[in-house]
Amino acid sequence: MKKTAWPKRFSVLVALLVGVLAPSSTAQTSTNKVTGITLTSSVHQFLADRPGTITLTVKVTYTGTVSRLGVRLVAPSDQWTFQSASGPTAQPTAGNTQPWEFSYLTNPTSPATFTVTLNYAAGLADPLDANYIGQSFTAYALLGSQNAKDANGADIKTVATITEAVIHTADANSDARISLDELLKVVQIYNTRNGNQRTGAYDASYNPAPNVAPVAPAQPHRADIDRDGAISLMELMRLVDLCMYATPAGRTGEYHADSQGADGFSPGP
Ligand SMILES: [Ca+2]
Ligand SMILES: [Ca+2]
């Protein structure tokens, strides 16, 4: 037994010594390194008053040969849960809260690009909050379980911020729909008069302000696109557009946040 085992042991010993003496293949040289990471989203806003889903795209660039390339993604709160991801071999379990780690068994050609789909809970933001609040995600490049570092020894990371959409002022019950009653309330503002003259003026509580000249408010009604403190016919018609949005089954009045829209919204879900 010993006679046959020794040559085998010897060859293992040689292999170990060669492994120790040879340059490590995982050493970070000037040509084997992570060079950058980006994190992007196809949407810039989302409605935070109800549950939803967003998809982020992660892109890691590297040169040469790097070992156990990975990414750690950190969400702004545990109201975000992991749903799915493309690409990396190792992924979190669906439903896990942050942070989420992804790693490749075999690195794809640089840049390593994959998508991460996350779910968010209802009530992420106060729907009555008039301020836009950013939800910031941070992605760190990993080598094994360690953060990849740049030439200055700093973590290679990136931040993407998505803005919570604000509910339209006219949407009194915050259900992301403009009902006929809610439209009528703005029609009443439109009809506000100062003597014989229609002004369309409203007060700080978004009620009609009769017998005064309009004053540009600090927090304009979201239907007041030019922010002059009055609802014009053109501004009223824009709200009518949102209110009249219909599916084949009928009018729903659904709207969604759209940073490209003049009023920050567009018709439809
Ligand atoms: Ca509503
Ligand atoms: Ca106006």
How close is the Cα of 245 to the center of ligand 2, in Å? 22
Q: What is the pLDDT of residues 179-188, one digit of tens each?
A: 999 999 999 9
Stretch among 17-31, 48-62, 79-93, 195-209 having the lowest mean pLDDT: 17-31
How close is the Cα of 237 to the center of ligand 2, in Å? 12
Q: What is the pLDDT of residues 195-231, one digit of tens each?
A: 999 999 999 999 999 999 999 998 889 999 999 999 9
How close is the Cα of 224 to the center of ligand 2, in Å? 4
**Ligand number with the minimum distance to the CA of 168:** 1
Handedness of CA 221, 256, 81, 68 (dihedral sign): negative
How close is the Cα of 237 to the center of ligand 1, in Å? 17
Domains of the chain: 33-164 (2.60.40.1510), 180-267 (no CATH)
pLDDT, mean of residues 32-55: 80
**Ligand number with the minimum distance to the CA of 238:** 2
How close is the Cα of 174 to the center of ligand 1, in Å? 5
How close is the Cα of 232 to the center of ligand 2, in Å? 5
Query: Residues within 5 Å of ion ligand 1 by Cβ?
Result: 171, 173, 175, 177, 179
Q: What is the pLDDT of residues 104-141, one digit of tens each?
A: 999 999 999 999 999 988 766 544 454 556 788 999 99
**Ligand number with the minimum distance to the CA of 216:** 2
How close is the Cα of 220 to the center of ligand 2, in Å? 9
How close is the Cα of 222 to the center of ligand 2, in Å? 9
- Give me the pLDDT at residue 26, please: 46
What is this structure's pTM?
Answer: 0.57
- Give me the pLDDT at residue 166, please: 66
pLDDT, mean of residues 257-266: 76
Q: What is the pLDDT of residues 238-254, one digit of tens each?
A: 999 999 999 999 999 99
**Ligand number with the minimum distance to the CA of 171:** 1
Residue 146 burial by Cβ neighbours in a 10 Å radius (0-12, 13-18, 19+) = exposed
How close is the Cα of 228 to the center of ligand 2, in Å? 5
pLDDT at 264 over 60: yes
**Ligand number with the minimum distance to the CA of 189:** 2
- Give me the pLDDT at residue 176, please: 84
**Ligand number with the minimum distance to the CA of 214:** 2
Residue 75 burial by Cβ neighbours in a 10 Å radius (0-12, 13-18, 19+) = buried
